[in-house]
Amino acid sequence: MSKQIQLRGRIFLEFNLHAVSGLHIGGSEVGVEIGGVDKTVIRDPLTNRPYIPGSSLKGKVRSLLEKYEGLPQNQSIGQKVSIHTCDTSEKYATCDVCQVFGVPGERDFGTPTRLVVRDVQMTAESIARLEENGRTDLPYTEVKTEVSIDRVTSAANPRQMERVPAGTVFGPAELVYSIYEGDGCDSQRDVERFARLVEGLVLLEDDYLGGLGSRGSGKVRLAQIQVKLRSRNELLQPAQLLGQFDALEQLVAALPQLQEQIRDQLAQA
């Protein structure tokens, strides 16, 4: 049976992502030379600069929300990694995480994934700072050495890991949240679910992004936040700015008002 679903509007959440501590988002380790860095960061092949893949940011926020909700990890995605995905239409209908972040294509009850997360590049200011004044070990990055100690022999096993230095800023990050109406979709519920995404970002600030987080890496902070809306009858117009916030706490405080603004704009579309 065919579905009829209509796009009602899109919310654009933009912000700069500040690396409060060193940031390690792993890249390919193929070809690492003997004596070289054990764990490298992912880099843009054209500029050779580290960046934050949208998949890493989206996956981390989803994972944190799954833990927050206590959802079962029932879908293997390889390499001994499992995530949560709903396996029945009844569960899916009430699962904000799967509605926002998506379910595998083979689920015939799925509706469009609400959230798109773009890759995030370094800001021009951070690039200039690192090129002109940065005392980095590798282009745009530092090498952090960690030493594990054998509990019996006390033998040391040093390892080197590449990180983007603390103080680096990536941005603007862009998260696009779509609002749908139709079979299996309720635009009013989608506006309510936008709060889930903001909750996930709060969890991210409390946790870490990338690897080595339990050892100090990956603390991030959101700043220069903007929330914009483009309703379905304004697709050829610039997105309308709904609010600007210096920090995530301010966005959280203004969220009910923002949701009311979004409902009003969609009602006029």
- Residue-wise pLDDT tens digits, 102-139: 998 888 888 999 999 999 999 999 999 999 988 899 99
| Cα-based angle 154, 144, 67 (whole degrees, multiple of 5) | 90
Q: Answer with the residue of higher pLDDT: 269 or 214.
A: 214
The mean per-residue pLDDT over the stretch 223-232 comes to 96
Average per-residue pLDDT for the chain: 91
**Per-residue pLDDT band at 31 (split at 50, 70, 90):** very low
Q: What is the pTM of this model?
A: 0.91
**Per-residue pLDDT band at 159 (split at 50, 70, 90):** confident
- Both structure tokens of 44: 């843009």
- Both structure tokens of 110: 């799925």
The DSSP 8-state label assigned to residue 80 in this structure reads T
Q: Distance (Å, rounded) from C-alpha 32 to C-alpha 78?
A: 23
Nearest alpha-carbon partner for 259 in 174, 168, 196: 196
Q: Which residues pair with 33 in a beta bridge?
A: none
Stated as kind and residue range, the H or E segment containing 14 is strand 5-19
Q: Note the residue count of the chain.
A: 269
Percent of the chain with pLDDT over 90: 73
